[in-house]
Amino acid sequence: MRIVVTRRIPEAALVELRALGEVWMPEEDRALDPDELRKTVAGAAAIVCMLHDRIDASVAEAAGPSLRIVANVAVGYDNIDVPALTSRDVFVTNTPGVLTDATADLAFGLLLALTRRIAEGDRLLRSREPWSFHLGFMLGTGLQAKTLGIIGPGQIGRAMGKRAEAFGMHVVYSGRSEPKEDLLRRADVVSLHCPLTPETHHLIDAEALKVMKPTAVLINTTRGPVVDEAALADALLGREIAGAALDVFEREPEVEPRLLELDNVVLTPHLGSATVETRTQMALLAAENVTAVLTGKEAINPVRG
């Protein structure tokens, strides 16, 4: 059985996959372009893919009737046309649970980096500009007694909420069907944890940013297109909100150039799940899903279209 792994994964997961069949993995550590991807998957029984691989009907066709499972090494699966695969009886799986704490840690870390100006302070020292301690120097804002508004009360959103409560914050949640305007109006911090779907695309647009307090900050660790990045840059430049911390971008890996110029913005390159432990568990979970399906069992984390 041919198993295609679109980008390098930890050895422990490869060992599991090699026990099932012939594993193909690219030599070079880069994303495959769509044509390469289609060529590579021909005859595959399983595709282990990354969030930057667009897996749609054309990829399923290119793989052919041997394809049984597409295992995404990510919890988000907006890169996969799930109905196009499930209608061909191909399982689609993701990696929920194992990255909850890592992603919430990063989201909270971004919040602290932004509100306590950690990244900005680091840049100042590296610039070798003279500085000296005084009572008004580089003041940030405290989190205690502030309100954190979480959009997307799933596992990661709730884990972020737990961390915020430990810091003395008041936490409010808004799910899929609840109105978000009240949360946007009340929150000192808005943190996004909803999946990217047609409904959440540009959920935070110019209008939503206008509803937020001018002292509020936005944290995004879910998917870039949930935020209209150009509108966010406008809102920051117009002082409609006080700051933003982003781990994900609308046109990843590109970043809206105006955001790169702003000191009240903290940027990280999609590091939400980036710990050795978590990435290993994600890859192992994907391999377990492949093993289950190729040995005739049900997938552990099936995603329904």
- List, by residue number, the catalytic residues: 223, 252, 270
- Token readout for 197 is 């779907």
Q: How far apart are CA 205 and CA 232, in angstroms?
A: 7
CB of 99 to ligand DGY, least distance (A): 5
Candidates 14, 51, 69, 143; binder of ligand DGY (CB under 6 A) is: 51
The one-character DSSP state at 144 is T
**What span, in angstroms and rounded, lies between the C-alpha atoms of 188 and 241?**
10
Q: Among 23-31, 74-82, 144-152, 179-187, which window interacts with ligand DGY (CB under 6 A)?
A: 74-82
The rounded distance, in Å, linking the Cα atoms of 204 and 174 is: 13
Determine, following the binding rule CB under 6 A, whether residue 50 of this chain makes contact with ligand DGY.
Answer: no
Nearer to ligand DGY, 76 or 225 (CB): 76
Of 48, 59, 74, 293, which one interacts with ligand DGY (CB under 6 A)?
A: 74
Nearest approach in angstroms of CB 197 to ligand DGY is: 13
Task: Give counts: helices (H), strands (E), the chain.
Answer: 12, 11
157 is an interface residue for ligand DGY by CB under 6 A: no
The residue within the footprint of ligand DGY, chosen from 6, 174, 273, 291 (CB under 6 A), is 273
Least distance to ligand DGY, CB of residue 273, Å = 4
The site for ligand DGY, by CB under 6 A, has a size of 8
Least distance from C-beta 279 to ligand DGY, angstroms?
Answer: 8
Instruction: Give the residue ranges of DSSP H helices in the chain.
Output: 11-18, 34-40, 57-63, 82-86, 100-115, 118-126, 155-166, 181-186, 206-211, 229-237, 257-260, 276-294
Distance CA 107, CA 286 (A): 24
Which residues of the shown chain bind ligand DGY in the complex (CB under 6 A)? 51, 74-76, 99, 270, 272-273
